[in-house]
Amino acid sequence: SQQGEEDPQALSIQEGENATMNCSYKTSINNLQWYRQNSGRGLVHLILIRSNEREKHSGRLRVTLDTSKKSSSLLITASRAADTASYFCATGQGTYGGSQGNLIFGKGTKLSVKP
């Protein structure tokens, strides 16, 4: 069953603008991860934020996590045409052994950055 739900489903912006994508989930988590998928390629891990963290940065990426609202956001600053891709959140419950250790992926946000 799907855990994370990304919003919006699609986003179109101009180069240089910021892009914000949101992810909501239903059950308690141990961590939340964001992945990028370019057309025709596999998913690439971007960033992982643990449940006891509120914000994390990696280059032009900023991720926030609000466990009280069961939501996360991914901000890409000063976007580039090369950022055009689909972005997925994935939640991990972090339990050793059993299916609880698996990641559950959302359906993704399709980002288009126009030059």
Q: Which residues bind another protein (CB under 8 A)?
A: 1-2, 30-31, 33, 40-45, 48, 50, 88, 92, 94-97, 99, 101-103, 105-108
How far CA 108 is from CA of 4, 21, 111, in Å, comes to 9, 9, 9
- Considering beta carbons, is residue 75 or 105 the nearer one to another protein? 105
Element (H, E) at 44: strand 43-50
Name the percent of the chain in helix, strand, coil, to the closest 5. 5, 55, 40
Cβ distance to another protein smaller for residue 41 or 69: 41
Smaller CB separation from another protein, 14 or 95: 95
Least separation in angstroms between CB 1 and another protein: 7
